Amino acid sequence: MNTTIDPFQKKILVIIPAYNEERSLGSVIDEVKEALPRADIVVVNDGSTDETAKVALAKNVFLVNHDVNLGIGSTVQTGYKLAKIRGYDIAIQVDGDGQHSPDDLRHLVAPILLDETDLVIGSRFLGESIFVSSFPRRLGICLFSLLTFLLTGKPITDPTSGFRAVNKRVIDFFAQTYPSDYPEPEVLVTLYKNSFRWFEIPVTMQARTAGVSSISLKRAIYYMVKVPFAMLIESIRPRGVI
């Protein structure tokens, strides 16, 4: 794979979903700007109660505010809707908590530029990554990996990764149809059903630099029940419907 290809030949939007990420967001924006200086950035502030919005405004990036917390799926889709309206060729998801390494952004974009795929997923479990997750989280990832393989026939190591890049066709698709919460595994089934291509590349991830995860024990239980059920339902729905 030629990862030295120039990403500046395309119009790129980096989507940063953020909920109470005032302590890490500024450095994430700075690092994204350094890695892709000609890309645009939008922070989608999902009803934060801290200074997340002020941090984004101070960094002179696009800011979209949700008045209330709508969840990660709706937040990411807001970014895709903006990408479609403004005619971007590529959209990249980067978490606002500092877990994703901007050093991997060019590697993430390269297969899109080469038209090798429609969506690229950054996997923390490929290559030489030393990322260590908790046992319950890793167990859930293994479950979603197995279910994704059973429903699509495609192996995957990190179906919950939110570090992703997509082309214009997927931008248009996601702007119209996207799960409202915990979307990452479910959309892989949807994309497969609608003849989109996707694969993983190894990336480096680290523990969040500040704040705490929004997934509480109660939400984690809901997540483990809801996501497999949603994936199964999605597998039998008509094409193009979420």
Question: Would the pLDDT of 224 be above 70?
Answer: yes
The structure tokens 């979903």 sit at 17
Whole-model pTM?
0.88
The angle that helices 168-176 and 184-193 make with each other, rounded to 10 degrees, is 110
Q: What one-character DSSP code corresponds to residue 238?
A: P
Q: By C-alpha distance, which of 137, 150, 143 is closest to 192?
A: 150
- The percentage of the chain sitting over the pLDDT mark of 90, rounded to a whole number, equals 69
- Cα–Cα distance measured from residue 96 to residue 98, given in angstroms and rounded to the nearest whole number: 6
- Cα–Cα distance measured from residue 160 to residue 205, given in angstroms and rounded to the nearest whole number: 13
**Helix then strand then coil, % of the chain, to nearest 5:** 45, 15, 40
Q: Of 88-92, 193-197, 228-232, which gets the smallest average pLDDT?
A: 228-232
Say what the pLDDT of residue 210 is.
53
- Which helix (H) or strand (E) is 235 found in, with range? helix 217-236
Within 10 angstroms of residue 233's Cβ, the number of other Cβ atoms is 12
Fold classification of 8-236 (topology level): Spore Coat Polysaccharide Biosynthesis Protein SpsA; Chain A (3.90.550)
Question: Would the pLDDT of 178 be above 70?
Answer: yes
Say what the pLDDT of residue 3 is.
47
Say what the pLDDT of residue 209 is.
54
Structure tokens at 224: 């483990």
DSSP letters for 146-215: HHHHHHHS---S-TT---EEEEHHHHHHHHH---SSS-HHHHHHHHHHTT--EEEEE--B---SSS--S-
Structure tokens at 43: 């922070």
Say what the pLDDT of residue 138 is.
78
- Which helix (H) or strand (E) is 137 found in, with range? helix 135-152
Q: By C-alpha distance, which of 163, 121, 113 is closest to 11?
A: 113
What is the arithmetic mean of pLDDT over 170-175? 98
> Tell me: the pLDDT tens digits for 116-149?
999 999 999 997 655 566 667 778 899 999 999 9
Q: By C-alpha distance, which of 90, 128, 107, 126 is closest to 35?
A: 107
Q: By C-alpha distance, which of 163, 160, 162 is closest to 139?
A: 160
What is the arithmetic mean of pLDDT over 158-167? 96
- Cα–Cα distance measured from residue 58 to residue 92, given in angstroms and rounded to the nearest whole number: 21
Please report which confidence band the pLDDT of residue 187 belongs to, taking 50, 70 and 90 as the band edges: very high
- Cα–Cα distance measured from residue 206 to residue 41, given in angstroms and rounded to the nearest whole number: 22
